A and B are shown apart, each in its own frame.
Chain A
Amino acid sequence: MDGLLEAIDLECVRGERRLFAHVGFRLGAGELLYLQGGNGTGKTTLLRMLCGLSTPMAGEVRWRGAPIRGQADDYRRELCYLGHPNAIKEDLTPLENLLATARLVGETLDEDAAIDALEQLGLAGRADLACRYLSQGQKRRVALARLVGERRLLWLLDEPFVALDVAAVEFVAGLIGAHLQRGGLAVLTTHQAVPIAAGATHELVLGDLSTGGSATT
């Protein structure tokens, strides 16, 4: 299996503490990687390294065989990152948020498609309400509505299921599953065990420095 996304010997140091070292994995088309580990083991940091927001202390991340540092713009065009904060504006409505985010990351999204995406996530009738009035779970749904029409190859999702109810978790897991079926790649951090239909599922457990935390299937 050739790896589209490859992490080689990544190391992260925060202050005086080494969070992880010698972390490496390969991920090919249609494959899913679960990042696991307790709080503060560096899951989010690793995800940020994968999308190029943070620079690893050592090692490198490769995309299509080349380091992501050198192909930043092209790499970002194939990447969809959903961080722990929802990246939605409290003063805008879910619809405006969705359209604005799409435009900012360089996607074309028309209004009907956006309304449809919001409806699929159970936000029908909330599309014109400022996000400030939504509950935590509903805000998360607004952020996740982006994934409905998302056709980029690599999804990096930080705790996508947090604050969601059972039905929404199932729906989002379905979205990720469909993405993998299409040959996409996904890396997600989660504390919940959510079954996702994937060609191959890898797990990477952070926080155990002795094993080096390399990927196991």
Chain B
Amino acid sequence: MIAFVRAIVARDLRLAMRRRSDVVSALFFFIIVVSLFPLGVGPQPELLRTLAPGVLWVAALLATMLSLPRLFADDLRDGTLEQLLLAPQPLGLTVIGKVVAHWLVCGLPLALLAPVLGLQFDLPADGLKTLTLSLLIGTPALSGIGAIGAALTLGVRGSGVLLSLLVLPLYIPVLIFGAGAVDAVATGMASDAHLSLLGALALGGVFFAPWPTAAALRIALE
């Protein structure tokens, strides 16, 4: 079972490496959106520090959204999705593999880039640390929940916009606890509670969201 999930992850990572432009464009989107704020707001360190958690988290949500439509669309187009549905393993496992691969090429790089971008907002060291940690814990939830939306809008015309409308509201809890963790540290409180809740959302995203996703995929291919 583990071997099967690993095979899916390995396949998706290899495909992502062959098509680096897809991965890189989401990351550059993140970098540029985040960098626009200091330029637009001007050199007001106090204000920028306040804005930082929200801006970085919202930009991370949007960058994730950008990469979601391709999660299943390529597999649908070339027929590999049918083969995945016919694999003897439960489809949920396939989806878990795809969610993990999506996180590795999207969520993980976003989290690793965040501390560098946070410097533009004059975030203190512990703020940067919490920001990175909150993104590391929270982005798996984004991939998992996003997969449901990606499966539901599979094969629908104009699916990109519909996907955002479906998924962004579901991202609100992740956004609140993620940005909240960084805010808590900035005001001198502990961020443990926020991070624990993020962890719970991430576990839900990776282990529970794949099952409704699997059901949506079956309907999409019906």
Contact = CB atoms under 8 A, between A and B. Distances in A.
Interface of A: 51-55, 73-74, 76-77, 79, 81, 83-92, 96, 100-101, 103-106, 130
Contacts, number: 74
Contacts of B15: 89, 91-92
A76 B79 contact: no
Contact of B83 (A52, A73, A77, A87): A87
Interface stretch (B48-56, B84-92, B177-185, B206-214): B84-92
B48 to A, nearest CB: 41
Interface string B151-186: 000000000000000000000000000000000000
B80 A87 contact: yes
A104 B78 contact: no
Nearest to B16: A91
Question: What is the interface residue range for chain B against chain A?
Answer: 20 to 34
B168 to A, nearest CB: 30
B78 A105 contact: no
A87 B76 CA distance: 9
A101 B83 contact: yes
Contacts of A55: 222
A105 B79 contact: no
Given A53-B222, A76-B87, A81 B82 contact: yes
Interface stretch (B6-14, B30-38, B136-144, B187-195): B6-14
9 contacts: A53-B86, A73-B89, A74-B88, A79-B86, A83-B79, A88-B80, A92-B14, A92-B18, A100-B11
A69 B163 CA distance: 31
A51 B83 contact: no
Contacts of B7: 100, 103-104
B41 interface: no
B25 to A, nearest CB: 16
Kindly list the 7 A-B residue pairs having the minimum CB-CB distance in the complex, ordered from nearest: A85-B79, A91-B18, A87-B79, A103-B7, A77-B88, A106-B88, A76-B88
Given A86-B78, A88-B78, A81 B222 contact: no
B4 interface: yes
Nearest to B85: A53
B113 interface: no
Given A53-B221, A85-B79, A89-B15, A104 B87 contact: yes
Most-contacted residue by chain B among A53, A81, A104, A106 (CB, 10 A): A104
Contacts of B8: 104
Given A53-B221, A55-B222, A91-B18, A84 B87 contact: no
Contacts of B89: 73, 106
A83 B82 contact: yes
Nearest to A156: B86
Contact of A104 (B11, B18, B222): B11
